[in-house]
Structures are given as C-alpha cells and as structure tokens.
Structure 1
Amino acid sequence: MAAPSPALTASGAESPDDRLRRLAGMPSGDALRIELRARVIEDWLPLAERLACRYAGRGEPLEDLRQVAAVALILSVDRFDPGLGVPFAGYATPTITGALKRHFRDTVCRIRIPRRSQELWARLASAGEQLAQREQRTVGLDELTADLGVDLARARTARLEASVQWVGSLDGDRGVPLREMVGAADPGIDGVETRCALRACLAELPARERRIVALRFVSELPQHRIAAEVGLSQMQVSRLLARSMARLRERFLA
C-alpha cells in the first residue's frame, strides 16, 4: 500500500485529494481498494450533482441526469492519474459535462438551431466555466464576451437560441405534469351570464315571492312545507309561485 500523503492535517485527517492519490497508488488486487474507491466516489459526488443540475429543465428528468453524471464521475475516478499534475476537478468536469451533452444528443429531440450559434454558445459556456473558476465568482455575459472579444449582441442571440433548442418533457421536471399546468374550459363558465341575469330578475320580485322561490328551487321544499314556513295556504303558495315564474320568464326572455 502506498504511504499516506504528507498533506495530512495536524489531526491526521485525510482530504479527498489525499484519498484519491492513495487510491491511484494501490494495486488493483488490494483488498482495501474497493472500500477506498467507494469513499473517493462519495467525496466527489457533489461535483457530479452540481454539473447535473446545470442541465435541469431541458427536457430530461433531473434524476436521469444525476445518474449520467455519477457514471461519468466513476469513470473519471478510475482513469485519473495524479502524476499528470492536473487537479481532479479539472479532469472530471469536462468528462462529466461531455457525458451529459452526449446524453441529450442521443436521447432528447432538439430543435435545430444554426451551427454558428451552437458553436458560439459552446465556446462561451466552456470559457465561462474556466473564467469563473479563475475569478472565483459568477461571470456575466458582457464580461465574458469582452474577455473573448466576441460581439455581445451575437452572444445574446446564441444564448437565446440555445435556451429554446431543448424540447421540454410533458411530464415536467418538478414533479408536476405539464397537463396539470395547462388551463381547460370551465364547464360552469357558460352559466355565469345566465345566473347574473336571473339574479337581476329575482331582485325585482317582492320579498315574500323571492323567499317562496328560494324555498322551492334552492331548498327544494314541497309546497305544503313552504306554506307552513311563510304562513300561507298551499293554494296561495301555488298561485304566488306560478305568478313569480311567469314574471321571471317574461323578464328573462325580454
């Protein structure tokens, strides 16, 4: 087994980079290699997660993107050579990003955009990652185009075209199917105008007749119960109902 890296902290804690270098130095038949390899992959999973999230909302479920990124991370861990002098993040990032792009190319239907815009945006995206790492902050499009000597208007056009080239999933990426977010015809909307007109007609009836109509057609009481409620005979209730309905019909159809 390779000797522990000298870059250990005073407490003896081993950093992810230390574990990665130790893994690269272990022979494939070492019994401890499997456990260490799993720990190294776990160390760098947040990097794969961040890269996968960059491609969310482009027509593929985020969980699928996480799996693609995780597989690419595992390949990066297995192929990484610390002797080349390249930081692991600098080696793994393009590997994972490339795997995600191939996933979209092979599985997601795209709207074709001009090749010039595709190439420009790919160049801007790659340069943006490098510049952001160098400056240790988010880099705006205006700053990026100035650094590359690219026309800002062209860069904005390329960004806009790149943003619409992916066909969105009908099942959505946030757990809400798109069909549930699209409006549908309300079957009750056609009755709104009728109800408003009827309400105006009812308001013209005397208070006692409005009450009788409400008891009959809202509370659905029989005429003998209505008669007991309003203190009239059933015959009187029948006549008032007939007169009210005739008045409403005449007013409503006028």
Structure 2
Amino acid sequence: MLAPNPAFAASPAPVAPGGRADRAAADAARNAHAIALLAAARRADPAGRRRLHQRVVVEYLDLAHSIARRYRVRQQDAADLRQVACIGLAKAVERFDSDLGDDLVSFAVPTIAGEIKQYLRDTSWFVRPPRRLQELAIEVPAVREVLEHELGRAPRVAELAEVLHRPLALVAEAVQCHSARQAISLHTPIPGGSDDLTLADSLPYRESEYARTDLALTLERATRTLTSEERRIVRLRFEEQLTQSEIALECGVSQMQVSRLLASILQRLRAALNTDVARA
C-alpha cells in the first residue's frame, strides 16, 4: 500500500464548513488540482510522473478507504481491503485520461470497486459458490449499508432485491453465501456446552459401507459356530430387539434358560471374533 509521504503531499483544497454546496465546491477544487497534477505528469520524466501520481493517490486515500469499508464483511478483512482499494486507486490514477473526462472520482470509483470485487472473488471463499452468486454476494454489503442509513434498520431481503434488481430467491441465496467465506474450526467449543465439548463431538459418525460390509462378513463367519436354534435366539434378541422374556415365550423355554444361552453364545462369538482379528 502507498503510504502518505509529506514530501509528496499536495496542499489540500480548503474545506469550508457548511452543507452540501460547500462540500461540492471543495470536491470540485480537489478534482481540479488533481487534474492539473496529472496534466503535469504527462509532460514529466518517468521519475517525476511517478512522484506526481503518488501525490494524487495520497490526496484520494480517503476515497479508497471509504469504498473498502462498503465491502468489508469481517473486521479482520479491513486492512487487506484498504490495501487492495489503494492499489485500485493507483491504477485509476495511472490510467486516467483527462481528454476522455474531467472527473477523476467518477473514473476511480468503479476501478477501485472492481479491484476489490476481483480480490474478494478470487481469494476470500473457503467454499466457492457459482460465480454469479459470488459477484452478487459481494454487492450485498454495500447495498445493505446504504439501506441501513436510509431506513434506520437492517434491510429485508426483499428490499435488497429491489435495489439490486435481482430475483428475491437469488438475493436470499447470495446472502446465505456469506457463510461460505469463512470456515469454523471443528475444535470450536459448542456454545452453552462444557469447555471440552467441541463442534467435532456433535457431528454424526457415519460408518462407511466398506466397514459395514467387512463387519457383516466377520459376524457371518463367527455365527457359523452356532446351531440353528442359537442363531434364532441371536436374531430375536439383536435384530428384532425382543426381551429375554419374549424370546422365552417364542422358543418355549424359561427366561433363565434364555439368559444362560445368550451368555454362552456371546462368549463363543467373542472368542471367534478375537481369533478372526488375530489372523488379520
């Protein structure tokens, strides 16, 4: 970023206190001074041209910072956006041709905004949505800021869509896209939970199909050691979730016998599974 240098600083145009007319006069004086400096730059040698361009950039740093604030989403973006805006301002000053227009601000604003939009589009997305949503999501903060000043409250999505001249559903999707610009660590503590409980602990565990298939085959080999009646008891208990009393009625035996049979079956299955794991 180009830092202000007292040696290059142009004498600022006097800003008279007052209303809109005074501000307009001050802006016109500053613009005329910048145009004169740029005209002199065209006649200067490369070193002199660079110094004169820098003087103009220093005078309009407030413009660059103002545009950067419109596109800021997070506080930590502020310094980067200011730097990108200053780069856009420097490019605008270098490219400005007074033969094609006499208002530097009108030329610089879209150049600075375009530089910021390109930066945000290319570098600030952790998850990239479609390009049209990226571009629309970048426009939303600036429009929201203007509407907040006009309405005295946060604008509704429908009001944003009206100003942006875009479909309501598309603007709503663009607003939601802002969550894709930043990632949250899985080690972040869960709000309201204990300090050692993180977002990772709240994610559901999904066993892969490969792991499920491998487990099913291992169990199938282990159950080959059981009789048909024992396999029936295992199915009733662990697949159909019957209680021991219900299994006893189903098989025509006592609940105590079912309990002993299950204990024996499980002991043999554990031994068979342990043997299978040892072989693997």
TM-score category, normalised to shorter length: 0.3 to 0.5
- TM-score for both structures, normalised by structure 1: 0.48
- TM-score for both structures, normalised by structure 2: 0.44
**Structure of higher RCO (CA pairs closer than 8 Å, 6+ residues apart):** 1
